[in-house]
Amino acid sequence: MIRALVTATTALAALAGLSVLLGTGSWRCAMRVLLDLLTAAGLLRLAGGQGWTALAAAAAIVLLRRLLWAALTAGAPAGPPGRGRNPPARAPDAAG
> In the chain, which stretches have pLDDT less than 70?
49, 75-96
Q: What is the pLDDT of residue 95?
A: 57
Q: What is the pLDDT of residue 21?
A: 94
pTM above 0.85? no
Q: What is the pLDDT of residue 40?
A: 86
How many Cβ atoms sit within 10 Å of the Cβ of residue 42?
21
- Name residue 72's amino acid: L
38 near 13, Cβ under 8 Å?
A: yes
Count helices and strands in the chain by DSSP H and E runs: 3, 0
65 near 38, Cβ under 8 Å?
A: yes
CA-derived radius of gyration, the chain:
20
